[in-house]
Chains A and B, each alone.
Chain A
């Protein structure tokens, strides 16, 4: 008991010394001089913080080959989230994935930006950003996942390459239903069109039912204005729907009586071209999970104790169960789901694991609260066909070799 108290006192004293050290420009453990908090540079860092120079997490910018596959020309741009370095369910806005057909993020002055609600409404309306912020707002945590976030084969493919088109944020904004009620939706309307101010003027058709249910017009992301690459100053958040529904740089909502099949909608976002079974649109993304550690591209440092950790999510609701297999799917154990486990949000899971140095194949299986179960690659292909699954949610196996290397085993 006594020794514990001493230890605590020592700890407190140590902490105080460290704080003093920071203020006075002392020498921290790494041996480098920290910038004085009272220098101009130190003040700049206090006004708007910067991460430690020892933290190097970055988005992975897709090469031209992927760019061509994703966008059909060199104008699109993509950057993938480093999921293995994400500490909780929230993705830092600076690391939120980016995928755009739109040439470049537009540089929008929020003072000049307007949102128009028009089309089949009784009272077309134009809102300034200031007016939108005066309206009742909501804050909700939701993931956004690119429709193309489909894991592929190839031993060397990393977690970031196979799964990096997903991120999760706390979004703040106005429910679209509120604005639609203000404008008064006319009888016969069944869809809304979200129109973007981006250079290629993308627009996306969204079913009116979803627009009225839980769609958000967001101006806030993780407590700050939405970042330019993610749609500053205004974007749609359509919870659980494919990424392409979540129109960035939103400038208009047009209420219409049919899907508008706009340029990117019919050239990119349809499934099963020429197939007997054809799909026009794809709504909620299926249940999905991935182990982020140990995961493709990593190496285990030695035998012994590890936490198998990762993310699970579903476009249909909350994650109910995550099962982990360490033998390629022969046997399964339930992982512990960590709070918060919110609907249509990244959810963390973990399971203790002791690696004895033998080869292992680690994989997870997610069940959502609608009872849907994440499929294997074989089931996924049987269901959708083998041409470019719209949203690849197959089980992702990672193979741990005897020397600790983790490889993609899909």
Chain B
């Protein structure tokens, strides 16, 4: 009896493995190189999956923010624009446009582009690394991205000026933005989507 159970369980495991690991049938495409699989601009996971070695502090980042030209778009301290506002209480880049949205977002109830509204600190790192400076990606070293991330977190009151940010410390920084996002990979609607699931979902 026990033997049968083991056989059945083994068969289920074999079937599951086959379903996932089918042999290639067309033979097209090639295997990526290590550097292609791990490019400098790789997308980083929300809990810091894939963060590379390196480190930096807010003090170092403050110098880079001017020196690397971030301030040209975001203002001397990241709060002045004309690009997206990264620091300050109102972290959305549209104040003064007369759009009528200012009042709505003033209460901080908006998922704006500001650092506080990011889901997690590694995603701040990832965005700077992948997309900044706009149209000139690849000009920052890993240490510089850590330093600039630290600077923006510090300017938003989320870490201390001399806290060292690296692959271990960055995922541990708590961001208020996480609370506004119903993130639940274990929820059936998230882990196994199928057509016709309920449109609304509580946290």
Closest 4 CB pairs of A and B: A207-B193, A125-B29, A280-B182, A278-B182
B111 at the interface (CB under 8 A from A): yes
Binds A, one of B53-61, B95-103, B141-149: B95-103
> Which one of B64-72, B153-161, B162-170, B184-192 contacts A?
B184-192
> Within 8 Å CB of A117, what residues of B?
29
| Chain A, range 83-122, C-beta contacts under 8 Å to B | 103, 116-118, 122
- Enumerate chain A residues within 8 angstroms of B179, measured Cβ to Cβ: 274
What is the bound-complex CA distance between A199 and B21, given in angstroms? Answer: 34
A64: which B residues are within 8 A, CB to CB?
A: 97
Q: Are B118 and A199 in contact (CB under 8 A)?
A: no
On whether A68 and B16 interact (CB within 8 A), knowing A116-B36, A182-B24, the answer reads: no
State whether the Cβ of A320 lies closer than 8 Å to any Cβ in chain B.
no
- In the assembly, what is the distance between CA of A193 and CA of B42, in Å? 12
Given contact pairs A187-B16, A187-B17, A261 touches B32 in the complex (Cβ within 8 A):
no
Asked if residues A103 and B180 are in contact (CB atoms below 8 Å), the reply is no
Answer yes or no: B120 CB below 8 A from chain A CBs.
yes
Q: A209-B194, A257-B185 are in contact. Are A124 and B97 (CB under 8 A)?
A: no
Specify the chain A residue showing the minimal Cβ separation from B194: A209
Scan B191-203; emit 1 where CB is below 8 A from any A CB, else 0.
Answer: 1111111011111
Number of A-B contacts (CB under 8 A): 190
- Whether a CB of chain B sits under 8 angstroms from the CB of A281 is yes
Interface assignment of A210: CB less than 8 Å from any CB of chain B: yes
Cβ contacts under 8 Å, A200 to chain B = 131, 134
Interface CB pairs A-B, < 8 A, 30: A68-B97, A72-B84, A103-B134, A117-B29, A118-B32, A123-B24, A123-B31, A126-B30, A126-B32, A127-B28, A134-B26, A182-B29, A186-B20, A195-B43, A208-B193, A256-B45, A257-B185, A258-B45, A259-B183, A260-B45, A262-B43, A262-B126, A266-B177, A270-B111, A278-B202, A279-B199, A279-B200, A280-B201, A286-B199, A316-B196
Q: B51 contacts the other chain (Cβ, under 8 Å)?
A: no
Contact with A along B23-50 (1 / 0, CB 8 A): 0111011111000110001010110000
Chain A residues contacting B111 (CB-CB under 8 Å) are: 266-268, 270, 273
In angstroms, Cα B200 to Cα A116, docked, is 33
Give CA–CA (A106, B201) in the complex, Å. Answer: 36
Docked complex: A190-216 residues within 8 A CB-CB of B: 190, 193, 195, 199-201, 203, 207-210, 213
- Considering only residues 126-148 of chain B, those with a C-beta below 8 Å from chain A are 126-127, 130-131, 134-135, 137
- B92 to A72, Cβ gap below 8 A? yes
**Quick one: which of B21, B101, B118 contacts A266, CB cutoff 8 A?**
B118
CA–CA, A353 and B127, complex, Å: 54
| Chain A interface residue number, banded | 35 or more
Which residues of B (95-127) have their CB < 8 Å from a CB of A? 97-99, 101, 109-113, 117-120, 123, 126-127
Alpha-carbon separation in the docked complex, A184 to B24 (Å): 8
Q: Which residues of A contact B88 (CB under 8 A)?
A: none
Output the least CB separation between A315 and chain B (Å). Answer: 10
Q: Determine the chain A residues whose CB is within 8 A of the CB of B78 once the complex forms.
A: none
* List of A residues within 8 angstroms of B31 by Cβ: 123-126
A267 partner residues in chain B, CB cutoff 8 A:
111-113, 117-118
> Which residues of A lie under 8 Å from residue B83 when comparing CB positions?
73, 75
Give A residues with C-beta under 8 Å from B. Answer: 64-65, 68-69, 72-75, 103, 116-118, 122-127, 131, 134-135, 181-187, 189-190, 193, 195, 199-201, 203, 207-210, 213, 254, 256-263, 266-268, 270, 272-274, 277-284, 286, 316, 370, 383-384
**Whole-angstrom distance from the CB of B42 to the nearest CB of chain A?**
9
Contact between chains at A277 and B181 (CB < 8 Å): no
Contacts of B36 in A (CB 8 A): 116, 126
Q: Which among B29, B126, B127 is the interface contact of A131 at CB below 8 angstroms?
A: B29
Closest chain A residue, CB of each to CB of B46:
A261
Smallest beta-carbon distance B168→chain A, Å: 20
Q: Residues of B contacting A123 with CB < 8 Å?
A: 24, 31
**Chain B residues with a Cβ under 8 A of chain A:** 16-17, 20-22, 24-26, 28-32, 36-37, 41, 43, 45-46, 82-84, 92-94, 97-99, 101, 109-113, 117-120, 123, 126-127, 130-131, 134-135, 137, 177, 179-185, 190-197, 199-203
Pair B113/A277 contact, Cβ less than 8 Å? no
Interface centre among A103, A280, A384 (most CB of B within 10 A): A280
A278 to B179, CA, bound (A): 10
**In-complex Cβ contact of A73 among B113, B126, B182, B200 (8 A):** B113
Partner of B131 from A199, A261, A278 at Cβ < 8 Å: A199
B186 to chain A: closest residue by CB? A258
Check A201 against B137 for contact (C-beta < 8 Å).
Answer: yes
Partner of A261, one of B22, B181, B199, B200: B181
Q: Is the CB of B123 within 8 A of A263?
A: yes
Q: Is the CB of B183 within 8 A of A261?
A: yes
B193 to chain A, nearest CB (A): 3
* In the complex, residue of chain A having the shortest beta-carbon distance to the beta carbon of B47: A258
| Interfacial chain B residues near A68, Cβ < 8 Å | 93-94, 97, 99, 101
Q: B109's contact among A74, A182, A207, A274, by CB below 8 Å, is which? A: A274
**Nearest CB of B to A187, in Å:** 5
Q: In this complex, what residue of B is CB-closest to A122?
A: B21
